[in-house]
């Protein structure tokens, strides 16, 4: 585990330096080619360090690829709480895998702990989002992965994940529609089966 990836899991800076796990030289070479491709001079003063900077930035932005998201949810607590827990407005910054441009917005996550009442730390929900978002993604898969991992690791009675994001590939290029937000949701367990529980969860998410 390298420094950047370790920070995503638990904030402790342990593990290998990032240079040993990401091929920075390869990224640098590719960025230099891109600069040449767009007709720039990669050797001019302002751009000379750019390939190396972009390589370091990519190592950070895609650090989630080097983390097993299940590790994030390894700490759980007993709480005997079998009611809904909702964390709203978790910041999401990810990259569409089609254009490698950012999409960003918020995630709302809710779950009903299982019969053993085990809960996880609230920050772990945000860490889970980070680990899964710092990869080439599509919003639908990111949403599904969040819900499925929570189901697998916490064995809750139900899970809901809702993401609202704006995609830079729609805003800055192509159709050039800024401000359009894409909403995706994934519902599991009792929240999928029971309309009343789902309506309660979604109303907390909408009106929080």
Ligand X SMILES: Nc1nc2c(ncn2[C@@H]2O[C@H](COP(=O)(O)OP(=O)(O)OP(=O)(O)O)[C@@H](O)[C@H]2O)c(=O)[nH]1
Q: Which does 174 bind (CB under 5 to 8 A by kind): ligand X, Zn ion, none?
A: ligand X
| 96 is a site residue for Zn ion (CB under 5 A) | yes
Shortest approach of ligand X to residue 83 CB, angstroms?
32
- Selection from 73, 119, 110, 70 nearest residue 192 by Cα: 110
Q: SS3 for 10?
A: helix
Shortest approach of Zn ion to residue 100 CB, angstroms?
8
At residue 108, what are phi and psi to the nearest 5 degrees?
-120, 130
Residues contacting Zn ion: total by CB under 5 A = 4
CB-CB contact of 201 with 185 (8 Å): no
Binding residue for Zn ion (CB under 5 A) from 26, 48, 81, 98? 98
**Residue 48 or residue 98: which is nearer to Zn ion going by CB?**
98
**In this chain, which stretch among 31-39, 127-135, 139-147, 169-177 interacts with Zn ion, using CB under 5 A?**
169-177
User: What is the DSSP code (8-state) at residue 162?
Assistant: E
Provide the token pair at 3.
Answer: 């420094």
Q: Which residue is at the shortest CB distance from ligand X? A: 174
- Residues 45 and 50: their CA atoms lie apart, in Å, by 10
Residue 173's contacts (CB-CB under 8 Å, 6 or more residues apart) are: 99, 101
Which residues make up the interface to ligand X (CB under 6 A)?
Answer: 96, 98, 138-140, 167, 169-170, 174-175
- Known binding residue 96? Answer is yes
Shortest approach of Zn ion to residue 105 CB, angstroms?
14
Catalytic residues: 96-99, 139, 167, 169
Provide the token pair at 184.
Answer: 């995706």
Residues that bind Zn ion in the complex, under the rule CB under 5 A? 96, 98-99, 169
């Amino acid at each position: 585990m390298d420094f950047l990836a370790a920070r995503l899991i638990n904030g402790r800076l342990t593990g290998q330096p990032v240079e040993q796990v990401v091929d920075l030289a390869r990224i640098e070479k590719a960025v230099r080619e891109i600069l040449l491709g767009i007709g720039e001079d990669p050797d001019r003063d302002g751009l000379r360090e750019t390939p190396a900077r972009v390589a370091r930035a990519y190592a950070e932005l895609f650090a989630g690829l080097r983390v097993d998201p299940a590790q994030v949810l390894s700490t759980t607590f007993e709480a005997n709480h079998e009611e809904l827990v909702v964390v709203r407005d978790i910041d999401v910054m990810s990259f569409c895998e089609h254009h490698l441009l950012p999409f960003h917005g918020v995630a709302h996550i809710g779950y009903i702990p299982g019969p053993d009442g085990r809960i996880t730390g609230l920050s772990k929900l945000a860490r889970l989002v980070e680990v899964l978002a710092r990869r080439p993604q599509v919003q639908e898969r990111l949403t599904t992965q969040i819900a499925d991992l929570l189901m697998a690791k916490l064995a809750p009675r139900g899970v809901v994940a809702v993401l609202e994001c704006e995609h830079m590939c729609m805003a800055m290029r192509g159709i050039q529609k800024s401000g359009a937000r894409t909403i995706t949701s994934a519902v599991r367990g009792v929240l999928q089966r029971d309309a009343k529980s789902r309506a309660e969860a979604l109303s907390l998410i909408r009106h929080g």
